[in-house]
């Protein structure tokens, strides 16, 4: 007999990741906000030079070598850092530590579509509050939900918009629960909320090596928070949540700041170019601080049809069949040749 799962798990849908084409298939992949540039040569060398014999042993359960490199980058201490198997792992750990079954978690909507999945798994109640006009943080409405925690992505996905630090600080001071600022894309913004940790003891910042460091494949992320919070999160994480190769490569990548910074600059300059080109073609583009653009298709065009047409040409972008998003396309910023392919693909489909 098939065992019966928890009824709430049976009825939930689960997370739908962006499409990953089969290995070896040549596509222009602008659908999952990956960094178009390879990781630092120092990160690659760290994997190549890793002593295979050491793989017999368990990795450091708290990834201290990596935590020290992260602490140095942000001017904090090891005690302010916890490492995770991607920042998805961090989000899950924070949620399970601070929001119990039946308690409320709130976020501004639309945002990263993993949050509701994690909340459902934890048995938490969801309060999803629409962004105010112009993608402004609905702080008072979020506080009024009575949530134990507020999560929001900054820059936000899929809009790429940024909430200024002053507004985050006001929220954190007024809200009695935990405020998680998901900074998966902050490297491309060049602005972050790390400075608020000193004055706001209820703020947790999550970060990833996936986007800014071109290391989606190794699964490494981290949270920055007051040591009192990190101590609690440490109890909830899996015992060996980061593997040895990820720790070695991630440490080398963080330490090679100059290389990473160069890729962020290149992404920013391509972002400005693609934004201008799309506007010239009649798209309405929201100014983005991330490595992707959310663009409303020109009048007379259908977003889903353009998405499908590009797909047939081997160009993958993202279309969300959701209220408020179904007239828009989310386009990750690629290398300039990939962005050129996107722009000519749109032109061939009559959008440009
Ligand atoms: N936060 C946001 C807003 C994201 O878009 C993503 C990537 N899908 C993540 C977190 C998670 O990234 P990762 O688990 O690769 O660190």
pLDDT in tens, 293-327: 999 999 999 999 999 999 999 999 999 998 889 99
DSSP letter at 132 equals B
pLDDT score at 315 = 96
pLDDT score at 79 = 98
CA 155 – ligand 1 centroid, Å: 11
**Distance from C-alpha of 192 to C-alpha of 289, rounded to nearest angstrom:** 11
Pocket lining: 242 vs ligand 1, CB cutoff 6 Å:
no
- What is the radius of gyration, based on Cα positions, of the chain? 20
What residues does 295 pair with on adjacent strands?
Answer: 285, 329
pLDDT score at 22 = 80
pLDDT score at 26 = 84
**Distance from C-alpha of 84 to C-alpha of 81, rounded to nearest angstrom:** 10
Contacts of 1 (CB under 8 A, 6+ apart): none
pLDDT score at 296 = 97
Contacts of 147 (CB under 8 A, 6+ apart): 99, 103, 104, 105, 106, 127, 177
Digit-coded pLDDT (tens) for 185-230: 999 999 999 999 999 999 999 999 999 999 999 999 999 999 999 9
pLDDT score at 216 = 97
**Distance from C-alpha of 46 to C-alpha of 52, rounded to nearest angstrom:** 12
**Distance from C-alpha of 145 to C-alpha of 130, rounded to nearest angstrom:** 12
Q: Which regions in the chain score pLDDT beneath 50?
A: none
Cα separation values, 20 from 17, 28, 310, Å: 8, 11, 15
Pocket lining: 221 vs ligand 1, CB cutoff 6 Å:
yes
pLDDT score at 97 = 98
Torsion of CA 7, 9, 13, 17, to 10 degrees: -170
CA 206 – ligand 1 centroid, Å: 9
DSSP letter at 80 equals G
Residue 258 CB neighbour total at 10 angstroms: 8
**Distance from C-alpha of 268 to C-alpha of 288, rounded to nearest angstrom:** 9
SS3 7: helix
pLDDT score at 20 = 82
Tokens of 169: 């600080």
**Distance from C-alpha of 104 to C-alpha of 118, rounded to nearest angstrom:** 13
Probe residue for ligand 1, chosen from 114, 163, 217, 241 as the CB with the greatest number of ligand atoms within 8 Å: 114
Pocket lining: 188 vs ligand 1, CB cutoff 6 Å:
no
Cα separation values, 41 from 47, 138, 185, 252, 257, Å: 10, 42, 22, 9, 12
pLDDT score at 352 = 73
CA 344 – ligand 1 centroid, Å: 29
CA 35 – ligand 1 centroid, Å: 12
Probe residue for ligand 1, chosen from 85, 87, 207 as the CB with the greatest number of ligand atoms within 8 Å: 87
Instruction: Return the closest-CA partner of residue 213 out of 205, 224, 221.
Output: 221
Digit-coded pLDDT (tens) for 104-115: 999 999 999 999
Q: Please, are residues 218 and 246 in contact by the beta-carbon 8 Å criterion? A: yes
Pocket lining: 246 vs ligand 1, CB cutoff 6 Å:
no
Contacts of 54 (CB under 8 A, 6+ apart): 244
What residues does 28 pair with on adjacent strands?
Answer: 315
CA 18 – ligand 1 centroid, Å: 11
Pocket lining: 87 vs ligand 1, CB cutoff 6 Å:
yes
CA 210 – ligand 1 centroid, Å: 8
pLDDT score at 150 = 98
């Amino acid at each position: 007999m098939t065992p019966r799962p928890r009824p709430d798990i049976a009825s939930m849908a689960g997370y739908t990741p962006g499409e990953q084409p089969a290995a070896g298939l040549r596509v222009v992949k602008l659908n999952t906000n990956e960094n178009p540039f390879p990781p630092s040569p120092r990160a690659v060398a760290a994997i190549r030079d890793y002593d295979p014999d050491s793989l017999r042993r368990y990795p450091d359960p708290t990834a201290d070598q990596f935590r020290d490199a992260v602490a140095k980058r942000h001017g904090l201490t090891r005690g302010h850092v916890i490492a995770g198997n991607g920042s998805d792992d961090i989000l899950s750990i924070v949620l399970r530590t601070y929001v119990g079954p039946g308690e409320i978690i709130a976020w501004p909507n639309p945002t990263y579509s993993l949050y509701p999945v994690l909340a459902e798994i934890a048995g938490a109640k969801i309060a999803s509050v629409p962004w105010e006009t112009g993608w402004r943080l609905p702080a008072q409405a979020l506080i009024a939900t009575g949530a134990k925690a507020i999560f929001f992505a900054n820059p936000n996905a899929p809009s790429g918009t940024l909430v200024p630090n002053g507004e985050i600080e006001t929220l954190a001071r007024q809200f009695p629960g935990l405020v998680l600022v998901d900074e998966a894309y902050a490297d491309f913004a060049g602005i972050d909320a790390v400075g608020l940790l000193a004055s706001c003891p209820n703020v947790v910042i999550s970060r990833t090596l996936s986007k800014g460091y071109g290391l989606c494949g190794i699964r490494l992320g981290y949270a920055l928070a007051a040591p009192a919070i990190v101590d609690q999160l440490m109890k909830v994480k899996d015992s060996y949540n980061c593997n040895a190769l990820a720790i070695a490569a991630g440490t080398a990548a963080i330490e090679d700041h100059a290389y990473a910074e160069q890729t962020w600059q290149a992404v920013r300059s391509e972002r400005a170019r693609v934004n201008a080109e799309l506007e010239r073609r009649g798209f309405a583009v929201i100014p983005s601080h991330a490595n992707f653009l959310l663009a409303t298709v020109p009048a007379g065009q259908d977003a889903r049809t353009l998405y499908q047409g590009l797909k047939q040409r081997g160009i993958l972008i993202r279309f969300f069949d959701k209220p408020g998003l179904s007239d828009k396309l989310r386009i990750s910023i690629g290398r300039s040749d990939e962005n050129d392919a996107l722009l000519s693909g749109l032109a061939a489909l009559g959008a440009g």
